[in-house]
């Protein structure tokens, strides 16, 4: 293991360097140790407000024998606009979960500029991108510009969860995502598709969580040409965005293509490759709309029937078993499950680990936040924050003004404003004991480099025995065995000669 200097933790823009000699397994990132931060907010799925519909069911994994069901005939690519197709398929990703304005209230970085530390808003030195996760829905990734990634020391995020403590949660026992609130944060290599479910960290509301990370660079040996993967390009396209190659992204792409090929449908738990965006196919797990109309028709007939009505057909529930749409839905669902069961075997020989990749060893510390005294200052802090944002917006440094903070600011004024009008400190303290709005809805996150600062630990895969070493060892062994064999032959000849001499001498003596 060797230690080398890393350009920095903040992610560059997605890698656009030309493919290296390992391009079939994905090029090395342009900037070593470049990192992205992805945050997914989560709240009860039973909440119906537009800003908190975060934990809907179905993310991108699952997994059983190949299906013998014949593939569904594919329809021609749809010419309808994308929004129309999404409504027809029951899919409107952007309407699910929080928007970035509702989730990320503040994002500031501390950069090292000519030996001086400066504070800058994330929007001034990088970009936010949105990805979709079937479990956490909208996720947002911050990626720093290439010229700033070597300067960032810390990233500070204040997030807002807009939690609504509803007592009615019919699916809390079935879906673990609806049982928790807070954020899910992941540190990952710049340009990679976020693996929020597999590698994310849960952050609870009412806390200040510090995440320190150490960077490790893994350099893998190039496999022989015969073992090169056939199914993946150096980059992977999901939902119109290009992501750098990774083993998991390759598996998801090939798995989705296999599902479409065998089942004639799309899977909502896996990212949608660009090659499948305009197929016009429906999702495998989508219940046909006709089933809802049949059920509504039954309820309407049942409500209009009298308790003594002898017409059994009128009160009989609709039969789904013989409905063509419902049978097609069951076929798609069964086929989808069958493909998932064998997904590991189907893609293992086509996807390989990249030649170079980075991992991040994190250390997390959490403390209660904020202090009681800060409750008196939070309204003034938000006023100052809005002024800073509006000033940067007028100067053209950032694209959005402070209007996205208005709903939260108005709630803070309504809740904490009366504290400043209390008759005495004791009265203000008494009022504050019954307020927990910040503790239930705000999260403070600090992402820092570890003690190694800009250094990374390099782990390189090397052959245990090279070809030269192998030939040398074989030659040495052959030399030993040939030498021993020749010595044995000489000794045997000498023994036979001595026997003959001794035998002849004894005969002459006789």
Q: What is the pTM of this model?
A: 0.70
Q: Is residue 335 part of a domain?
A: no
- Do 18 and 1 meet the contact criterion of CB atoms below 8 Å apart? no
CA distance 197 to 195: 6
- Do 136 and 97 meet the contact criterion of CB atoms below 8 Å apart? yes
Q: Is residue 244 part of a domain?
A: no
Q: What stretches of 134-270 adopt beta strand conformation (E)?
A: 137-144, 152-160, 182-189, 201-203, 207-219, 235-238, 241-244
Chain centre distance of CA 286: 24
Neighbours of 173 (CB within 10 A): 9
pLDDT single digits (tens) 170-222:
666 666 666 788 899 999 988 899 999 889 999 999 999 999 998 899 998 87
Q: Is residue 382 part of a domain?
A: yes
Q: Is residue 293 part of a domain?
A: no
Domain count of the chain? 1
Residue 223 maps to which CATH number?
Answer: 2.60.470.10
3-class secondary structure, 202: strand
Q: What is the dihedral of CA 477, 482, 487, 489, to 10 degrees?
A: 140
Task: Return the bridge partners of 116, or none.
Answer: 113
Q: Is residue 495 part of a domain?
A: no
pLDDT of residue 420: 80
Q: Is residue 482 part of a domain?
A: no
Domain of 45, in residue numbers: 1-59+96-235+354-462
Q: Does the N-terminal peptide bond of residue 370 adopt cis geometry, omega within 30 degrees of 0?
A: yes
DSSP 324-381: HHHHHHHHHHHHHHHHHHTHHHHHTTT----SEEEEEEEEEEEEE-S-TGGGGTHHHH
Residue 448: name the closest of 12, 65, 11, 156 by CA. 156
Q: Is residue 398 part of a domain?
A: yes
pLDDT single digits (tens) 145-161:
888 888 899 999 999 98
Q: Is residue 265 part of a domain?
A: no
Q: What integer best gives the mean pLDDT of the chain?
A: 74
pLDDT single digits (tens) 385-435:
999 999 999 999 888 899 999 999 999 999 998 888 888 888 888 888 888
């Amino acid at each position: 293991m060797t230690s080398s200097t890393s350009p920095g933790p903040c992610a560059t823009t997605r890698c656009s360097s030309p493919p290296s000699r390992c391009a079939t397994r994905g090029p090395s990132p342009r900037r070593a140790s470049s990192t992205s931060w992805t945050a997914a907010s989560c709240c009860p799925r039973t909440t119906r407000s537009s800003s908190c519909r975060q934990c809907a069911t179905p993310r991108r994994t699952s997994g059983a024998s190949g299906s013998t069901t014949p593939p569904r005939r594919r329809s021609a690519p749809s010419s309808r606009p994308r929004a129309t197709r999404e409504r027809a398929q029951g899919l409107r990703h952007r309407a699910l979960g929080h928007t970035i304005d509702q989730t990320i209230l503040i994002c500031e970085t501390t950069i090292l500029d000519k030996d001086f530390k400066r504070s800058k808003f994330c929007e001034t030195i990088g970009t936010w991108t949105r990805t979709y996760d079937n479990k956490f829905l909208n996720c947002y990734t911050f990626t720093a510009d290439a010229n700033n990634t070597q300067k960032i020391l810390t990233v500070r995020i204040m997030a807002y969860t807009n939690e609504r403590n509803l007592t009615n949660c019919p699916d809390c026992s079935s879906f673990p995502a609806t049982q928790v609130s807070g954020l899910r944060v992941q540190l990952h290599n710049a340009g990679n598709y976020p693996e929020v479910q597999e590698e994310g960290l849960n952050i609870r509301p009412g806390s200040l969580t510090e995440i320190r990370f150490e960077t490790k660079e893994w350099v893998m040996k190039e496999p022989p040409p015969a073992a090169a993967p056939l199914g993946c390009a150096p980059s992977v396209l999901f939902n119109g965005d290009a992501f750098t190659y990774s083993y998991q992204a390759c598996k998801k792409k090939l798995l989705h293509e296999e599902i479409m090929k065998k089942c004639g449908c799309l899977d909502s738990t896996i990212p949608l490759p660009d090659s499948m965006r305009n197929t016009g196919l429906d999702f495998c797990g989508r219940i046909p709309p006709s089933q809802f109309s049949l059920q509504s028709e039954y309820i309407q007939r049942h409500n209009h029937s009298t308790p003594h009505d002898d017409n059994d057909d009128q009160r009989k529930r609709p039969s789904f078993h013989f409905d063509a749409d419902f049978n097609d839905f069951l076929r798609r669902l069964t086929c989808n499950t069958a493909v998932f069961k064998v997904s590991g075997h189907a893609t293992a020989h086509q996807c390989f680990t990249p030649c170079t990749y980075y991992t991040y060893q994190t250390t997390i510390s959490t403390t209660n936040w904020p202090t009681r005294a800060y409750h008196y200052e939070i309204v003034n802090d938000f006023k100052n924050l809005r002024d800073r944002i509006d000033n940067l917006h007028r100067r053209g440094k950032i694209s959005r003004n402070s209007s996205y903070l208005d709903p939260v600011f108005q709630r803070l004024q309504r809740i904490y404003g009366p504290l400043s009008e209390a008759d005495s400190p004791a009265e203000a303290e008494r009022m504050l004991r019954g307020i927990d709005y910040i503790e239930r809805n705000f999260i403070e996150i600090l992402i820092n480099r570890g003690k190694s600062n800009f250094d990374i630990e390099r782990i390189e895969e090397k052959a245990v025995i090279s070809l030269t070493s192998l030939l040398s060892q074989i030659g040495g062994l052959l030399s030993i065995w040939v030498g021993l064999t020749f010595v044995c032959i000489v000794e045997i000849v000498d023994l036979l000669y001595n026997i003959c001499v001794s035998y002849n001498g004894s005969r002459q003596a006789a």
